[in-house]
Structure 1
Amino acid sequence: MEITAHIDALRREGGLLADAAARTGLDAPVPTCPDWRLRDLLLHTGQVHRWATAHVRDALKAPLDEDGERALLIPAPDDAGLVNWFRAGHTALLDALTAAPADLDCWTFMPAPSPLAFWARRQAHETAVHRIDADAAAGTEGPSTDPALALDGIDELLRGFMSRGRTEVRGERPRTVQISATDGPGRWLLTVGPDPLSVALTEDPAADLTLTGPARDLYLLLWNRLPAGTGKVDRAGDETLLDLWRESARIR
């Protein structure tokens, strides 16, 4: 996806998130994030938007320290102003990304074609996943994630986050998971074992577990947002690998 497409996705998903929150009580539980209420989701995502904005707008060469991060929530909004506070932070992020030069030089934490490409992509998916959480809190499914965005998000999750060597998805012996989208070109082969998770853009019909389905459902499944027994993902093989993923695939 191009940078402009990621910014457009960020605009759409952030607007949908705010709309879902505006029609839902902020004390509503978030089923996809069991420890959170809707206000926690808004505070978290709004703070992440402001955090990303600071790095892009100010071309920061190093990550904000703890004091800088705390300042993003001062003053903390009350419930009456929380949705508008979220919308303001979302708009500021869109403005920063749109105004940033193509050769922006700032801190990032995963490989990307450029810092601007990194931040546009990362915030598009941060917001898309949490929009799904907001819809869950509102008790609605919400609009379907665009297949192109879902495919891109699967790739970011697998070849970005999960390939950094920090994942806890490990096993005693090597086993493989084949992930294949039915509505796009996405094919990923994961090897889970004692070593850090590895991801290859290939197919293996003899994989220990195969997950096949629409990009949207695979996106939700891999981000642990697809409730058990729902969706259109066909599973064949060793489903203990999927249990392992649910238990240990965490983003920090």
Structure 2
Amino acid sequence: METAEHIRALDEEGRLLATAARKAGTDAEVPTCPEWRVRDLVRHTGAVHRWATAFVAEGHPSPRPLPDGPDLAGEALLTWFEDGHRRLVDTLRAAPADLDCWSFLPAPSPLAFWARRQAHETAVHRADAESAPGGALGEPGEPGEPGERTVDFAVDGIDELLLGFHARSRSRVRTETPRVLRVRATDTNAVWTVRLSSEPPAAERVDAAAAGDADCEISGPAPRLYLSLWNRLPLPAVTGDTALAELWRETSGVG
């Protein structure tokens, strides 16, 4: 996906998050984040938006701590969130292509990184807001599907998670002996081979026809896989050694 597409997705996802939060109310519990209420979700996402905006707007060359959100609730908190979301979208759209600032996952450029990361950050937390009772049009506790409702966006998010986040040394998805986990999107030809060992997972995107043997396969439509791999929905379908799927559920959380 291009940077402009990620920014459009970020714009849409932030609006949808605010809508879901208003419908649920900021005191509502968030089933996909059991320790949070909607106010905690909105504060966190709004703080992340302001944190990201500062890197892009000010060109910070090194990490900075994530700020705390304000002690607000209700409409005042939602207005604060919307203001920060709008500032992030506008800042990304105005940023130069040769932006130079800190980032933490491989990307063609810092601008491409921040647009992509914030689009997916917001999409996953929009799903959290929609999981709150009254937050979505569907069944309570069932978040909507991600980003602009497209398969391409979901595939891009799975790429970021498997090839980006879990390639880092902090990934806890490890096995004592080498194993192979396959992730297959059934609504497109995207397949990922994830080699598990005592080292960080080594994932690669492969052609569906050329995928080799695997000890376990997780499969389903890309939008559901996306949220499932972020532990927001149950895994759609699992074949082979289900212990590897359970390992993913227990250890793949990204902090």
Q: Give 1:38's aligned amino acid.
A: V
Q: Give 1:226's aligned amino acid.
A: L
Q: CA deviation at 1:185?
A: 3.2
Could you tell me the TM-score, scaled by structure 1's length? 0.91
Partner of 1:197: 201
Q: Give 1:250's aligned amino acid.
A: G
Matches within 5 A, 1:136-151: 136-139=131-134, 140=136, 141=138, 143-145=144-146, 146-151=150-155
CA shift digits 1:42-92 (9 cap, x unpaired)? 000000000000000111111224xxx44x63x533434011111111000
Alpha-carbon distance in structure 1 between the residues aligned to 2:100 and 2:61? 7
Quick check: 1:7–1:124 contact (8 Å CA) kept in 2?
Answer: yes
- Say which SS state the counterpart of residue 176 (structure 2) adopts: coil
Of 124, 129, 134 in structure 1, the residue corresponding to residue 124 of structure 2 is 129
- The question of 1:251 aligning with 2:254 is answered yes
Alpha-carbon distance in structure 2 between the residues aligned to 1:81 and 1:221? 32
Partner of 1:11: 11
Alignment CA distance shift 1:224-1:111 (3 Å): same
Of 166, 188, 193 in structure 1, the residue corresponding to residue 192 of structure 2 is 188
- The question of 1:44 aligning with 2:47 is answered no
- Say which SS state the counterpart of residue 45 (structure 2) adopts: helix
Q: CA deviation at 1:196?
A: 1.7
Alpha-carbon distance in structure 2 between the residues aligned to 1:135 and 1:49? 19
Of 236, 249, 252 in structure 1, the residue corresponding to residue 239 of structure 2 is 236
Q: Give 1:127's aligned amino acid.
A: T
- Say which SS state the counterpart of residue 173 (structure 1) adopts: coil
Alpha-carbon distance in structure 2 between the residues aligned to 1:201 and 1:80? 43
Q: Give 1:11's aligned amino acid.
A: D
- The question of 1:225 aligning with 2:229 is answered no
Alignment CA distance shift 1:172-1:143 (3 Å): closer
- For this pair of structures, how many residues does the alignment match? 243
Partner of 2:111: 116
- The question of 1:32 aligning with 2:32 is answered yes
Q: Give 2:118's aligned amino acid.
A: Q
- Say which SS state the counterpart of residue 206 (structure 1) adopts: coil
Quick check: 2:182–2:218 contact (8 Å CA) kept in 1?
Answer: yes
Alpha-carbon distance in structure 1 between the residues aligned to 2:106 and 2:213? 31
Alpha-carbon distance in structure 2 between the residues aligned to 1:143 and 1:250? 20
Identity of aligned residues (%): 51
Q: Give 1:20's aligned amino acid.
A: A
Q: CA deviation at 1:143?
A: 4.7
Partner of 1:22: 22
Partner of 1:60: 60
- Say which SS state the counterpart of residue 121 (structure 1) adopts: helix
Q: Give 2:247's aligned amino acid.
A: L
Q: CA deviation at 1:191?
A: 1.2
Q: Give 2:254's aligned amino acid.
A: I
- RMSD value, Cα: 1.6
Quick check: 1:20–1:138 contact (8 Å CA) kept in 2?
Answer: no
Quick check: 1:13–1:127 contact (8 Å CA) kept in 2?
Answer: yes
Alpha-carbon distance in structure 2 between the residues aligned to 1:185 and 1:60? 39
Could you tell me the TM-score, scaled by structure 2's length? 0.90
Partner of 1:163: 167
CA shift digits 1:166-211 (9 cap, x unpaired)? 1011111111111111222321101112122111223544201112
CA shift digits 1:100-128 (9 cap, x unpaired)? 00000011011100000000000000000
